Structure 1
Amino acid sequence: MEHEAFRIVGTPRFGGILVVSDHASNRVPEDIDLGIATSLLEQHVAIDIGVGAIGEIMAGNPGISAFQGNVSRLVCDFNRDEHLPSVVPIASDGHAIPGNALDHAGHEARLARFFRPYHAALAATIEAAPPALILSLHSFTPQLASSDEPRPWHVGILYNEDDRAARRAIPMLEAEGLNVGDQQPYSGRLLNATMNRHAEADGRPYLGIEIRQDLIADPSAQRVWADRLVRIANFVAIALEG
């Protein structure tokens, strides 16, 4: 199923795993001019590099489906609270986005066209086929342009109050020799909007995953991580039901 704001890969199953990727696409609709260089759309400010492909690969496994954002986060950032200005960012990691300097009507139109349909469809998907586990999949840049601090973690685990899945996943990832960030490269208590809304609010188990982008930049690496996350997500889902 595909909509301007989202796409669903695979068939959501009751008791399955739903992989949610808010920033899976760098698509900008033809009628929207962000006023930026086209090359910026290939960078982390526009898309979570690698997660779209990983979600698709994961959705090829029984019981797993993927719900993915279908426009660039520069058009509309789905992982924000609706009332925040950053839902339609005017700047990101030092880059101005002049096409997003909208008046109230323009901002409201962007929300009505993308943000609200995305979240309404995600809520309906979860309600129609409640998953055993929601896996929130993002990726992060090895170093922000606005910072001198490198990010050494291979993968980060994010959560707000509900850490049931996180506590099970962290030792599994560490056992594979990975540098795992617990609430790194940033805290899920500060930025967890989609999972707060669709998981924590209803007590649904979820696992917030952030993979460093240089580790998933090519198809072979994406396959490795997809297989890893299928294995870990299935284990976590079963453990939570026990």
Structure 2
Amino acid sequence: MSHEAWTLLGTPTAGGVLVVSDHASARVPEDIDLGIDPALLTQHVAIDIGVAEIGALLAQVPGVAAFLGGVSRLVCDFNRDADAPAVVPLASDGHPIPGNALDEAGRAARLARFFDPYHAALEQVLSAYDPALILSLHSFTPRLSSDPAQARPWHVGVLYNQDERAARLALDWLAQEPGLCVGDQQPYSGRLLNATMNRHAEAHGRPYVGLELRQDLIGDAEGQAAWAERLGRLLPAVVAGLS
């Protein structure tokens, strides 16, 4: 199942896991000119590197499906509230996005084309199948281009807002993995940036956990396979702990 704003991989199941990756794609539709260097579309400002591939691998596991965003966050950032300025960003990590200088009608049309169908479809899947757990999967850079002195040593960060049930289980499990540097609310807080999970999980009492994987660890097939295998062991442990 797919739409230009999203793709659903695997078969959702009641009591299973739905992986949600808002920033899985760097695609910019041909009829949209962002006015940027195309090289930016290979960078974090445009896409969460590695998460689409990990989501696809996890969707091959029985009981796991993956709901992936279908356009670049520079076209429409699904992990924002609809009235937030950054939902159609004018700049990202110091890079201006001149093609997003839209008037009110243009902004509304952008949201109607991408943001609204994405969130409507995600809610439909969640309501229809009632998974036991939502995994909100993102990735982060070892350093920000706008602040290269800010090191980010964590291999994985666990994010959450008010509902800590699944996050605490995931933190405990990840802490037992040899050699992992695990961040609690790192590299930023889920209490500040959690729009999709606030809307679809917290607002409905659905258990979820947000994971941020460091991009240099999942930038190739080997790293993606390794993390998909690890998450394939983590997810059933968290589901079991919730029951």
Shorter-chain TM-score bucket reads over 0.9
Distance 1:90 1:230 in 2: 37
Aligned match of 2:136: 136
SS of 2:134's equivalent? strand
Structure 1 consecutive aligned stretches of length 4 or more whose deviation exceeds 3 Å: none
Identity of aligned residues (%): 68
Please list the CA deviations of residues 3-40 of structure 1 after superposition, one character each: whole Å capped at 9, or x if unmatched.
01000001111110000000000000000000001100
SS of 1:66's equivalent? strand
Q: TM-score, normalised by structure 2?
A: 0.98
Aligned match of 2:156: 155
Structure 2 residue corresponding to 1:195, chosen from 175, 194, 197: 197
Query: What residue identity is the alignment partner of 1:154?
Result: H
Greater CA drift, 91-100 or 163-172: 163-172
Aligned match of 1:216: 218
SS of 2:232's equivalent? helix
Q: TM-score, normalised by structure 1?
A: 0.99
Aligned match of 2:146: 146
SS of 1:134's equivalent? strand
Structure 2 residue corresponding to 1:186, chosen from 161, 185, 188: 188
Distance 1:86 1:165 in 2: 28
Query: What residue identity is the alignment partner of 1:2?
Result: S
C-alpha deviation, 1:171, in angstroms: 2.0
SS of 2:210's equivalent? strand
Distance 1:12 1:166 in 2: 22
Any stretches of 5+ residues in structure 1 without a counterpart?
A: none
Aligned match of 2:100: 100
Please list the CA deviations of residues 197-219 of structure 1 after superposition, one character each: whole Å capped at 9, or x if unmatched.
00000110001000000000000
- 1:31 lines up with 2:31 in the alignment: yes
C-alpha deviation, 1:239, in angstroms: 1.0
Query: What residue identity is the alignment partner of 1:65?
Result: A
Q: Aligned pair count? A: 241
Please list the CA deviations of residues 146-175 of structure 1 after superposition, one character each: whole Å capped at 9, or x if unmatched.
112110100000000001111111121121
Any stretches of 5+ residues in structure 2 without a counterpart?
A: none
Distance 2:109 2:240 in 1: 42
Distance 1:96 1:50 in 2: 24
Aligned match of 1:114: 114
Aligned match of 1:84: 84
Aligned match of 1:17: 17
C-alpha RMSD of the superposition:
0.5
C-alpha deviation, 1:238, in angstroms: 1.2
Distance 2:84 2:171 in 1: 31
Distance 1:57 1:155 in 2: 18
Aligned match of 1:56: 56
SS of 1:33's equivalent? coil
C-alpha deviation, 1:220, in angstroms: 1.0
- 1:2 lines up with 2:2 in the alignment: yes
C-alpha deviation, 1:42, in angstroms: 0.1
Aligned match of 1:229: 231
Distance 1:238 1:119 in 2: 28
Aligned match of 1:204: 206
Query: What residue identity is the alignment partner of 2:173?
Result: M
